[in-house]
Amino acid sequence: MKFRGQAEKEFRVEVEAIGRVRHKNLVRLLGYCMEGAYRMLVYEYIDNGNLEQWLHGDVGLVSPLTWEIRMNIILGDCKRGLEPKVVHRDVKSSNILLDRQWNAKVSDFGLAKLLFSERSYVTTRVMGTYGYVAPEYACTGMLNEKSDIYSFGILIMEIISGRNPVDHFMDSFCWDPGSWLVGVLYEVKNGSNSVSDPSLISNGSETEIIRNGIYSVSDPSLNQKRNRISVSD
């Protein structure tokens, strides 16, 4: 009972802190409910579905998500200046909600973890969705801000290509998205546009977006010049 009381206290502290976070690209947490073993989080309503539906659903031959809209979604997903620092732990297309103006809002902070410093945390359970989870977090449980950056890099790849990273992960447990993106960048530099979502017309901006995706998923054990970028970058 003492352990349960401590867990409930920690839950309240974290949820109330996350509820105080304000950012135009975050779905606002309005409140929460606790009853026995049940927990419920209440968010503001966003009325245009989620990014996964618009990328992979039946939306016709021509996607309404133009390059301009996709660029705005990518830029909107960069959660700069958040205080306190929050690691979402489950950044993926189904957790990106869109309003009627196609503005992106990150949702579902049910797995989020507060960071009270720049150091990493060791978690006993790896949370998130395979295909998006950073490899060092999946293997060691070491959690920090750059765990979300990796997931964001995978999301960039998904937005550009229209391909579902979860499907790629299930097809091959040895799938290396970093190597995949390097190959994609080489193709684009040599005039190939095979990586782009076929429902889109290219506007020439893919190369820079892909480069940012590569930096996002780079191995943090490599030298500093190739280290994974941070949110502020």
Q: Give per-residue pLDDT as tens, 56-99.
A: 987 777 788 888 899 889 887 665 555 567 788 889 999 999 99
Q: Give per-residue pLDDT as tens, 169-199.
A: 555 544 556 565 666 666 666 656 567 777 7
User: Per residue, what are the HEC states of the chain?
Assistant: CHHHHHHHHHHHHHHHHHHCCCCCCECCEEEEEEECCEEEEEECCCCCCEHHHHHHCCCCCCCCCCHHHHHHHHHHCCCCCCCCEEECCCCCHHHEEECCCCCEEECCCCCCEEECCCCCEECCCCCCCCCCCCHHHHHHCEECHHHHHHHHHHHHHHHHHCCCHHHHHHHCCCCCHHHHHHHHHHHHHCCCCCCCCCCCCCCCCHHHHHHHHHHHHCCCCCCHHHCCCCCCC
Q: Is the pLDDT of residue 110 over 70?
A: no
**What's the pLDDT score for residue 3?**
46
- pTM for the predicted model, two decimal places: 0.75
Q: How confident is the model at residue 141 (pLDDT cuts 50, 70, 90)?
A: confident
212 compared with 88, residue with greater pLDDT: 88
**What's the pLDDT score for residue 108?**
81
Alpha carbon distances (Å) from 6 to 10, 145, 181: 6, 25, 44
Q: Catalytic residue among 47, 58, 77, 90, which?
A: 90
**What's the pLDDT score for residue 212?**
65
**How confident is the prediction for the chain on average, in pLDDT?**
74
Is residue 99 annotated as a catalytic residue, yes or no?
no
Domains of the chain: 48-226 (1.10.510.10)
Average pLDDT over residues 5-31: 79
**What's the pLDDT score for residue 82?**
57
Share of the chain above pLDDT 70, in %: 61
Q: Give per-residue pLDDT as tens, 91-107.
A: 999 999 999 999 999 98
